[in-house]
Structure 1
Amino acid sequence: MPGISEIALAGAPIAGGALLGMAAGNLKGPDIQALIVKDMDLLARIPEDQVQRRAELQRIINLRIDDLIAAVHRNRELRELAASYEGNWRDIVVFVCAVLFTVVWWNVDHARTNWLLLFIVLIVLSVMAGVYAARGIVRGVRSFLHSRHRAAHGQ
């Protein structure tokens, strides 16, 4: 049945976008604090007579601690902005995925029977996701600016 296979193939970009959206929520960065603890444990195990190694490892530990402190200060406003976002962050992920899959679908053979239909669906999905993402971003920025204004005027 070529009809079912074409439907399955046409739905592949949408299914891939859904999977990418689910995976985006599970990404985590490195645990800097755990690395610092491991480095401190290693430092305690290095013999006292290896002064140069101990000094270099201590320097690395100090750099990681400084980076951790700087990251907290740098990201405070970003966290405030993210907390004030009243939309769903997945709106942005869906928008990006819809645009990417539209671009991918554009490069598929245009002679396919379902090419135009899925291309139109992807454009509509991209526009709708873009509207929701933009609306949430605008609300978040307004809320962030309003809270900063109140904080600056002591209210």
Structure 2
Amino acid sequence: MPGIAEIALAGAPVAGGALLGMAAGNLKGPDIQGLIVKDMDLLARIPEAQVERRAELQRIIDLRIDDLITAVHRNRELRQIAASYEGNWRDIVVFVCAVLFTVVWWNVEHSRANWLVMFIVLIVLSVLAFIYAVRGILRGVRTFLHARHRAAHGQ
């Protein structure tokens, strides 16, 4: 069974990267709305005579509400930027880097257990990066031609 063990060891870096990517996508911050509700409940339970504690807790609630509003505005801006992305020079840079790393990996000792698996992953990554780069270039050319066409017809 050394063949299965070698395959498992060879795929470990790729599987680890995939797991890290999945974990990064699932990370969530604290539930600020839930914290605000709990703080407001706590504020209602603090006796009226404890003015300083009530004032401090109210200040914390106000800060959390401000943070929530700021986060909503920031998320909206990030969504607008992500939705307007049509590809640009970064796609080309990713493609060039993927190809260069593939060339470097080709010169690594081929007897390593994970050489073939990583080389296949790098080839797939290079092809995907190439597709995104070509898509971005085509969109840029299409936008340029469309703008030139509108300018020629006085629109």
| TM-score interval (norm. to shorter) | 0.5 to 0.7
Write the distance in 1 (CA, Å) between the matches of 2:36 and 2:61: 6
Q: Report the AA paired with residue 33 of structure 1.
A: Q
Q: Report deviation, 1:50.
A: 0.9
Q: Report deviation, 1:86.
A: 7.8
In the other structure, the counterpart of 1:27 is: 27
Q: C-alpha deviations, 1:28-60, integer Å up to 9, x for none?
A: 221111110100001111111111111100000
CA contact (8 A) 1:6 1:114 kept: yes
Where do residues 139-150 of structure 1 align in structure 2 (5 Å cutoff)? Answer: none
Where do residues 75-90 of structure 1 align in structure 2 (5 Å cutoff)? Answer: 75-84=75-84
In the other structure, the counterpart of 1:117 is: 116
Q: Report the AA paired with residue 127 of structure 1.
A: S
Where do residues 3-152 of structure 1 align in structure 2 (5 Å cutoff)? Answer: 3-84=3-84, 110=109, 112-131=111-130
SS state of the match for residue 36, structure 1?
A: helix
Q: Report deviation, 1:123.
A: 2.7
Q: 1:129 to 1:111 in 2, by over 3 A?
A: closer
CA contact (8 A) 1:40 1:61 kept: yes
Write the distance in 1 (CA, Å) between the matches of 2:26 and 2:136: 22
Q: Which has the larger radius of gyration?
A: 2
Moved over 6 A (4+): 135-139
Q: Report the AA paired with residue 69 of structure 1.
A: I
Q: Report deviation, 1:66.
A: 1.1
Write the distance in 1 (CA, Å) between the matches of 2:29 and 2:18: 22
**Structure 2: runs of 5 or more not aligned:** 88-93, 140-155
Q: C-alpha deviations, 1:82-133, integer Å up to 9, x for none?
A: 345689xxxxxxx9xxx8xx8xxx8xx9584434323422432442344456
CA contact (8 A) 2:36 2:65 kept: yes
Q: Report deviation, 1:137.
A: 8.1
Q: 1:110 to 1:47 in 2, by over 3 A?
A: farther
Q: Report deviation, 1:22.
A: 3.5
The TM-score normalised by the length of structure 2 is: 0.60
**Structure 1: runs of 5 or more not aligned:** 88-94, 140-155
The TM-score normalised by the length of structure 1 is: 0.60
Size of the aligned set, in residue pairs, is: 123
